[in-house]
C-alpha cells in the first residue's frame, strides 16, 4: 500500500517534572538530543515535520522546523498540540489530509510507523489509527485526519476534554500492533534512569539501534 502524504507533529510541550523541569526533548542521548533522534526517525516517513511547543521557539532553532504553539489557552496538554498541528496543516498545507503525532521523548520510533498506521486505518475502515505494543496502547502516537479539527476544538473548548485517550476512544480507533522484541519502539524517557538506559541502547556500535535497524541518514 502506498501511504497518503502525511505531516508529522512532534509533541514537545511537556513540563518534564520528573526530569527536574525544562525541555526534555533537548537532553542529549548518545551525542544527539532526544528531539534529533525523533526527527531522524520521522523525516523519511513524512512530507513535512513540525514541532508542537509553547514559549520561545528559538530554543528549537537547530531543528530548522516550524514550531507551532497551542491555539487554545492554559496549556491543556498534548491534545491541544494535536489540534494546533491540524489547524497549522489546514492553513499551510491544505492539500495534505493527514497528520501523525508522536511524542518528543520516544527516540526508538519504528521506521514503518506511518505506513502501518495508514494500513491499519485502511483495512479497518476507521477514521483514527493509533500505535500499541505488547497489548499496551499509545494513543499519543496516532494518525489524525484534518477533517477532525472542528470536532477536536469543540472537545477542548466546550467539553473541556484533556485526555488524548478519551478523544481517540470517541472515534473507535484501530490499534496497530508492534513487537517489543528486542525492545519497545515506543519506549518513552520519563526520568534520569530512563535517559541512562536509552543512552546505552542508542550507543550500540556502528550506529545500530536497539530495534535492529540502522539510524536513518
Domain count, the chain: 1
The answer as to whether 215 is a domain residue is no
The cell numbers describing 20, all together, are 527536574
Q: Which residues contact 150 (CB under 8 A, 6 or more apart)?
A: none
Domain membership of residue 182 (yes or no) is yes
Residue 212 lies in a domain: no
Domain assignment of residue 1, yes or no: no
Euclidean distance between CA atoms 199 and 28, whole angstroms: 8
Give the range of the structural domain holding residue 69, as residue numbers without chain letter. Answer: 6-205
- Flag whether 118 is in a domain: yes
Half-sphere exposure of 85 (CA within 13 A, CB side): 31
Q: Read off the CATH number of the domain in which 159 is found.
A: 3.90.550.10
Query: Whole-prediction pTM value?
Result: 0.89
Cell 496538554 belongs to 77
Question: Do the Cβ atoms of 143 and 46 come closer than 8 Å?
Answer: no
Which triple of cell numbers denotes residue 142?
496516532
Please check whether residue 210 lies inside any domain of the structure. Answer: no
Residue 214 lies in a domain: no
Q: Which three cell numbers stand for residue 119?
A: 494500513
Half-sphere exposure of 160 (CA within 13 A, CB side): 0
Rounded CA separation 97/122 (Å): 14
Q: In sequence order, which ranges of 56-212 are alpha helices (DSSP H)?
A: 78-92, 113-124, 149-157, 164-169, 192-202
Angle between helical axes of 34-42 and 113-124 (0-180°, round to 10): 50
Query: pLDDT tens digits, the chain, 217 residues: what are they?
Result: 678 999 999 999 755 444 445 689 999 988 899 999 999 999 999 999 999 999 999 999 999 999 999 999 998 999 999 999 999 999 999 999 999 999 999 999 999 999 999 999 999 999 999 999 998 999 999 999 999 999 999 999 999 999 999 999 999 999 999 999 989 999 999 888 999 889 888 876 544 444 433 333 2
In-domain check, residue 122: yes
Amino acid at each position: 500500500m502506498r501511504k497518503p502524504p502525511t505531516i508529522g507533529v512532534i509533541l514537545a510541550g511537556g513540563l518534564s517534572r520528573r526530569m527536574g523541569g525544562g525541555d526534555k526533548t533537548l537532553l542529549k542521548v548518545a551525542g544527539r538530543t532526544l528531539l534529533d533522534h525523533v526527527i531522524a526517525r520521522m523525516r523519511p516517513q513524512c512530507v513535512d515535520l513540525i514541532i508542537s511547543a509553547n514559549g520561545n521557539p528559538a530554543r528549537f532553532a537547530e531543528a530548522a522546523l516550524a514550531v507551532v504553539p497551542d491555539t487554545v489557552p492554559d496549556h491543556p496538554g498534548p491534545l491541544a498540540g494535536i489540534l494546533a498541528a491540524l489547524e497549522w496543516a489546514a492553513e499551510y498545507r491544505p492539500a495534505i489530509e493527514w497528520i501523525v503525532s508522536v511524542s518528543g521523548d520516544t527516540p526508538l520510533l519504528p521506521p514503518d510507523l506511518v505506513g502501518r498506521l495508514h494500513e491499519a486505518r485502511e483495512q479497518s475502515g476507521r477514521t483514527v489509527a493509533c500505535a500499541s505494543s505488547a497489548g499496551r496502547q499509545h494513543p499519543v502516537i496516532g494518525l489524525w485526519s484534518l477533517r477532525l479539527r472542528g470536532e477536536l476544538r469543540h472537545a477542548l473548548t466546550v467539553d473541556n476534554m484533556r485526555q488524548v485517550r478519551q478523544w481517540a476512544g470517541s472515534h473507535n480507533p484501530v490499534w496497530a500492533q508492534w513487537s517489543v522484541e528486542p525492545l519497545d519502539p515506543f519506549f518513552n524517557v520519563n526520568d534520569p534512569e530512563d535517559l541512562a538506559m536509552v543512552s546505552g541502547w542508542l550507543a550500540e556500535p556502528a550506529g545500530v539501534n536497539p530495534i535492529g535497524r540502522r539510524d536513518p541518514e
